[in-house]
A and B are shown apart, each in its own frame.
Chain A
Amino acid sequence: MIYLDYAATTPVDPSVAAVITEAMANAHTLANPSAVHLAGRQSAALSEAGVETVASLLGCAARDLILTSGATEADNLAIQGVARWRADRGRHLVTSRTEHKAVTDVFSKLEREGFTVSWLTPDANGLIQIDAVREVLRDDTQLVSIMHVNNETGVIQDIAGIGEMLRERDILFHVDAAQSVGKLDIDLESLPVDLMSIAAHKFYGPKGIGALYVADRPGCQLEPLFYGGGQQRGRRPGTLPVPLILGFAKAAEIAMERMTDDLKHVTGLHDRLLTGLQQSAGLHVNSHPQSHYPGILNVSIDAVEGESLLLGMEPVCVATGSACNSRNQEPSYVLRALGLSDAQAQSAVRFSFGRFTTEQDIDAAIDAHVTSVARLRALKPRA
């Protein structure tokens, strides 16, 4: 099996797995960190140190992080939490049509509850222009949510530019950074972002833990999704999973050490993959030519049916859409929003790769794609 679906989830780094395994068996992490006895205090100290490490990766203070079960919960907490907290000031919200379902579905729910949502359409390369955001803002706009790196196309949005424009208007800015944290340099001390969602399993950490960054500034508050227990200052109660926090921290530590090397590695793999795939005629890259994360390459191919292409490529594991809806064979809504036809979107394949991907893996993927395309085209009725 050749795994090229890192955007869905990355393999756990062996060092991270070792930390978690050890923590699961360690007496110091057995106790509930909220308990006041010695074991609880030991557990709390480890947990706090872990959150400090994650905060270092983001360039923020540990107290500004709320641990969650992952990015989906963080997105829900940010969007629902802010919308409800600030509902008496206004009920207008803004997002884009190419966000992850964990964002779009939340905005759809809020629409059904009576909030008004402006849905931005990106340009043909997938970028949300700052002017497009500015044009839909109103006096009662409370929150704008734009992702950093798109999970299907790898397009990198100008979150610094959008954030600056929103700061001038005192509108909160949420960024789903599940695909960028640990891979691209992020410094929340300088970035004008108020809320940021992250997930450990997207950068070689464990599944089941993530975080929401909430800026410590006036007006940036949210209503919790859960109640009971009072942990994390009541913003996200529930017993903290210390072994997962330590794994999260280890993944963050490795990311800080390896980010430059990892980026160089995936850039080389991206270029090798694209060159190889271009052996087939009619290949189209679904991304921005410059502003994209090189660990994701999304391509469409003329005159080939996507589902058959994917099966023909096995045992190379790639995706047609995001993992959350890959069993749904409808064309990707993200690619449709970029202006692709149903057929183009339907033939799209997302290759995503990272730290543990080798050049041999990429060569095998090229061979599988090129061979499968040729075979399916040979079977297709002639025009």
Chain B
Amino acid sequence: MMNDPYSSVVRRLFANPKHGGVVDGGVVVRRQASDVDIELSAAMQGEILKTVRFRAYGCPHVLAASEALCEAVEGHPRAVLASFGIHGLAQELGVPVEKTGRLLILEDALRALNFALDGRNV
């Protein structure tokens, strides 16, 4: 649709955030900015990210990106967290340039989750 600010991928992820929620008993991190608030939580099984969930306050692009991130990393080795590219995700979702800053909050949360999981392993 002309002038639609949301790609079909964003619309799909926004409408059906299967990974919305929190992992009970999992590692939880949270990062906030003025118009974005993102919480990531995860539970490990060995080195595998068994369950990953998010809760977020933000625009549809933030919610869709959070869902896409969880979808992408869940079920994979934890190392995926270090290599996951937010810029690639932004491109895939068609996030407008002026909203890039909001996705950087998601990137901060992702790093924080990785560090927190490190701490737990230690």
A380 and B55 contact, CB distance less than 8 A: yes
Of B57-65, B72-80, B110-118, the one with at least 4 CB within 8 A of chain A: B57-65
With both beta carbons as reference points, the residue of chain A lying nearest to B3 in the complex is identified as A327
Q: How many residues of B contact A (CB 8 A)?
A: 20
**A-B contact number at CB 8 A:** 44
Let me know if B6 is at the binding interface, CB within 8 A.
yes
Q: How many residues of A contact B (CB 8 A)?
A: 17
A346 to B39, CA, bound (A): 21
Q: Given A308-B60, A311-B14, A380-B57, answer yes or no on A342-B30 (Cβ-Cβ < 8 Å).
A: no
Q: Given A308-B63, A311-B6, A342-B34, answer yes or no on A379-B14 (Cβ-Cβ < 8 Å).
A: no
A379 and B59 contact, CB distance less than 8 A: no
A381 and B38 contact, CB distance less than 8 A: yes
Instruction: Enumerate A347-383 residues with CB–CB distance to B below 8 Å.
Output: 376, 378-382
Let me know if A75 is at the binding interface, CB within 8 A.
no
A305 and B58 contact, CB distance less than 8 A: yes
Q: Within 8 Å CB of A346, what residues of B?
A: 35
Which single member of A305, A327, A381 contacts B55 (CB below 8 Å)?
A381
CB distance from B56 to the nearest CB of A (A): 6
Let me know if A329 is at the binding interface, CB within 8 A.
yes
A378 and B35 contact, CB distance less than 8 A: no
Q: Mark B1-40, 1 if CB is under 8 A from A, else 0.
A: 0010110000100100100100000000010001101110
Which single member of A305, A312, A378 contacts B20 (CB below 8 Å)?
A378
A382 to B5, CA, bound (A): 28
Q: Taking A311-B60, A379-B20, A379-B56 as given, write out 10 further A-B residue pairs in contact, using a Cβ cutoff of 8 Å, ordered by the A residue number.
A: A307-B60, A311-B6, A311-B11, A312-B14, A379-B57, A380-B37, A380-B56, A380-B57, A381-B39, A381-B57
A311 to B5, CA, bound (A): 10
A329 to B61, CA, bound (A): 13
Which single member of B5, B17, B57 contacts A305 (CB below 8 Å)?
B57
Q: Mark B42-76, 1 if CB is under 8 A from A, else 0.
A: 00000000000001111110010000000000000
B63 and A379 contact, CB distance less than 8 A: yes
A307 and B55 contact, CB distance less than 8 A: no
A343 to B35, CA, bound (A): 8
Q: Within 8 Å CB of A380, what residues of B?
A: 37, 55-57
Q: Within 8 Å CB of B58, what residues of A?
A: 305, 308
A303 to B3, CA, bound (A): 28
SS class, residues of chain B in contact with chain A = mixed
Q: Within 8 Å CB of A382, what residues of B?
A: 55
Q: Within 8 Å CB of A378, what residues of B?
A: 20
Q: Given A346-B35, A380-B37, A381-B39, answer yes or no on A308-B59 (Cβ-Cβ < 8 Å).
A: yes
Which single member of A327, A343, A381 contacts B56 (CB below 8 Å)?
A381
Q: Within 8 Å CB of A329, what residues of B?
A: 59
A342 to B33, CA, bound (A): 13
A381 and B5 contact, CB distance less than 8 A: no
13 A-B pairs whose Cβ atoms sit less than 8 Å apart in the complex: A303-B57, A307-B59, A307-B60, A308-B14, A308-B59, A311-B11, A342-B35, A343-B35, A378-B20, A379-B17, A379-B63, A381-B30, A381-B37
A376 to B59, CA, bound (A): 10
With both beta carbons as reference points, the residue of chain A lying nearest to B54 in the complex is identified as A379
Q: Within 8 Å CB of A379, what residues of B?
A: 17, 20, 55-57, 63
Q: Within 8 Å CB of B14, what residues of A?
A: 308, 311-312
Q: Within 8 Å CB of A343, what residues of B?
A: 35
Q: Within 8 Å CB of A342, what residues of B?
A: 34-35
CB distance from B24 to the nearest CB of A (A): 13
Q: Mark A319-352, 1 if CB is under 8 A from B, else 0.
A: 0000000010100000000000011001000000
A312 to B37, CA, bound (A): 18
B38 and A305 contact, CB distance less than 8 A: no
Q: Within 8 Å CB of B11, what residues of A?
A: 311
A303 to B55, CA, bound (A): 13
10 tightest CB-CB pairs across the interface, nearest first? Answer: A381-B39, A307-B59, A381-B55, A380-B57, A311-B60, A379-B20, A308-B60, A381-B37, A379-B55, A305-B57
A376 to B55, CA, bound (A): 9
Interface-central residue, A303, A305, A329, A380, by most chain B CB under 10 Å: A305
Q: Within 8 Å CB of B57, what residues of A?
A: 303, 305, 376, 379-381
Q: Within 8 Å CB of B20, what residues of A?
A: 378-379
A133 to B48, CA, bound (A): 68
With both beta carbons as reference points, the residue of chain A lying nearest to B14 in the complex is identified as A311
Q: Mark A2-31, 1 if CB is under 8 A from B, else 0.
A: 000000000000000000000000000000
CB distance from A340 to the nearest CB of B (A): 15
